[in-house]
Structures are given as structure tokens and as C-alpha cells.
Amino acid sequence: MKDLITIAMPKGRIFEEAADLLRQAGYELPPEFEDSRKLIIDVEEERFRFILAKPMDVPTYVEHGVADLGIAGKDVMLEEERDVYELLDLQISKCYLAVAGLPGTRMNDVAPKIATKYPNVAARYFREQGEQVEIIKLNGSIELAPLIGLSDRIVDIVSTGRTLVENGLVEYERIVDITSRLIVNPVSYRMKDERINELVERLTSVMQEGVKLR
């Protein structure tokens, strides 16, 4: 395909909102787009190739240039610190990173344990607070950790807050607000600036009108 643009999309909960946004920007994506198990989806009419990656891996594909563009949460960008440009705050998938734990508990005085999927963000945060902590990296179900005594606190995403409530946990500190970003490989941005800028303009005008979420 000539002038092909490859976009790394995050599989999982951001995916539908991101696909919705592209449709609202006037791009024709096939109806089965969201239900497919394919990891590479070509949309020839739009000269787009989508690759479906784990959210945490999206900046890696973009940094290495195998994807020109990507949609990644700010949480992932802060954790991964990849050599990519952030083009646009897409204002979708709003949530925040917070410190949480069991109610009414103090952190251990000596090297309290913090369980998280975001070891770099958590380490940086506690260093800035002047607190020495031990980070325990987990890959999911982070809320389990304080419930079974693996950690004193967790650093994790809060969206609706349901997971915390249903597991009897409370929020102690809010670290940073998160939304999804459109990111670009610096070389792709130079080589394919016309098509990329068109996409940015179309997405910007959708956001100015207010993104309609389902």
C-alpha cells in the first residue's frame, strides 16, 4: 500500500474508545474491527495498518519505527519514557494513578512495600516524597497485594473506583491524572508529515466538538 500509515492500538479497554474516536474523525473502519482476533488489520481504503499491541508495549513499537503512530495512556508514557513525541491529548480513557491501601493502616516505617504495575512511576513518586520504599512489580490484579499482606500500599489506576471499593481499599494520595495520547515516531513524523498532520487536524476538530462516548 502506498503512503501506508501504521498505527499501534492498545488492546483492551482503551481500544473501543480509540476506534470510536477515529470513526468520529471520519475514518471508515470495518464493523468487525473491534471484535477481530487479528493482530494486524489493514484498512486499505484509509491506507492504514493497525497493529494491536498490549497497552504497555505501544510506545515500544512506535520508538522502533515499526509503527508510525500509537495510542497510549499517559500512565504508559510515564512508565516507559520512550523516545517518541506526544502529538495530542485525545482526552479519552480518563482515569488517574493513585496510592491506595487498607483503611486506617500506616505504612511500615522501614522500607514499606509498594505493589504496582508501574515500578518506575512509583519509585519516582516516593523518591520525590523523600520516602524509601521497596517496589514489588506485579502484572495485574494489583488490589490483591495489600489484601493478602504482600504490600503496605499499591500504586495503581483508578477509573470508576469500583475495584477499590469492592475490595475494601481506600485511596491515600492521587499521583497524576491520565488520558490517552496520540504518539508518533520522530522519523515518521518528518517523512509522513502530511498524512499525520491531517489525522491530527481531524482528531482535533472532533475533540473541539466534544468526543461522543458510547
Point out which residues bind ligand PRP (CB under 6 A). 117, 140-143, 156-163
Nearer CB in complex with ligand PRP: 27/172:
172
Residue found under cell 492521587 = 174
Output the CA angle 168-169-173, nearest 5 degrees. Answer: 160
Closest separation in Å from C-beta 113 to ligand PRP: 18
Nearer CB in complex with ligand PRP: 160/208:
160
Nearer CB in complex with ligand PRP: 11/195:
11
Closest separation in Å from C-beta 148 to ligand PRP: 15
Nearer CB in complex with ligand PRP: 114/203:
114
Closest separation in Å from C-beta 79 to ligand PRP: 13
Closest separation in Å from C-beta 166 to ligand PRP: 8
Closest separation in Å from C-beta 54 to ligand PRP: 11
Nearer CB in complex with ligand PRP: 117/181:
117
Closest separation in Å from C-beta 156 to ligand PRP: 5
Residue nearest to ligand PRP (CB): 140
DSSP per position, the chain:
-TT-EEEEEE-SHHHHHHHHHHHHTT----GGGGT---SEEEEGGGTEEEEEE-GGGHHHHHHTTSSSEEEEEHHHHHHH--S-EEEEE---S-EEEEEEESTT-PPPSSS-EEEES-HHHHHHHHHHTT---EEEE-SS-TTHHHHTTS-SEEEEEESSSHHHHHTT-EEEEEEEEE-EEEEE-HHHHHHTHHHHHHHHHHHHHHHHH-----
Nearer CB in complex with ligand PRP: 40/165:
165
